[in-house]
Amino acid sequence: MTKYDNYKKNVLEATLWLSEHGYFGSHRGTGGNVSVRIDEECMAITPSSVSYQELSVDDIFALAFDLSVIEGNGKLTPSVESGMHSIIYQRRLDVNVVVHTHQIYGSVFSLINEPIPALFDEVSFSLGHIVEIIPYALSGSSELANNVAGKLSNNANAYIIQNHGILSLGKNLDKALLNAELLDKVAQIYCLALSTGKTIHTLPDSTIEMIMAVRNYEVNDAQGKKKVKK
């Protein structure tokens, strides 16, 4: 038992839930990864290329934000997307959990390269006023991590990675999983709505302004609190 075990357990629990509910795009594949912030310098994250059903707590890595291994199974390597997770924690102090999935409906928008606008207030207050597209770069590359970093300042909790998949962020495990679910819901409905060919009505500007204000407040509040702590 180490001081990292609870964080590792949270990563494992979230990973199994996402896998069982089809968020990785297949039940046997390993398409996606999950991390939990430990503190201002490190995170717990899934290993690379291990079937999620076979994972145990000891297989989850404790990894510094410079990607050096603090603790982990020596026979495994940390997720190839560790750089992407790390840069999110460093840029967004409000984020304590990062969920990267290959969920089906969200991934549709990664192919048509189309952001999801503000459609339902209940969804957008959590996800942000727009679910933006992060430009494509090869999976696991530092270019992809930099492309992600380039979009984080809109303070959203969900992004679509072009020709790849989804990022859902949250201040805790529950919120990050909920955001993955909300994204799935809104992507399904937006897909169906687009297929009718009829006009799609987005939320009014006054509501969008409220959503942006709430998201900005939550992010700035966390930045302020963590800076004071230091």
* Shorter beta-carbon distance to Zn ion: residue 25 or 117: 25
* Shorter beta-carbon distance to Zn ion: residue 106 or 165: 165
From the CB of 84, what's the least distance to Zn ion, in Å?
Answer: 9
Active site residue 20: no
Q: Which of the residues 81, 132, 181, 218 is marked catalytic?
A: 81
* Shorter beta-carbon distance to Zn ion: residue 107 or 124: 107
From the CB of 140, what's the least distance to Zn ion, in Å?
Answer: 8
* Shorter beta-carbon distance to Zn ion: residue 35 or 124: 35
Short-list 147, 168, 173, CA closest to 156: 168
Q: Are 139 and 81 in contact (CB under 8 A)?
A: yes
CA distance 64 to 39: 10
From the CB of 97, what's the least distance to Zn ion, in Å?
Answer: 16
Q: Are 177 and 19 in contact (CB under 8 A)?
A: no
Question: Within 13 Å and on the Cβ side, how many CA atoms surround 60?
Answer: 27
Sign of the CA dihedral 45, 47, 50, 56?
A: negative
Structure tokens at 209: 């302004």
From the CB of 212, what's the least distance to Zn ion, in Å?
Answer: 28
Residue nearest to Zn ion (CB): 165
Q: Are 24 and 52 in contact (CB under 8 A)?
A: yes
> Which residues in this chain contact Zn ion in the complex, by CB under 5 A?
165
The residues annotated with a catalytic role in the active site are 81
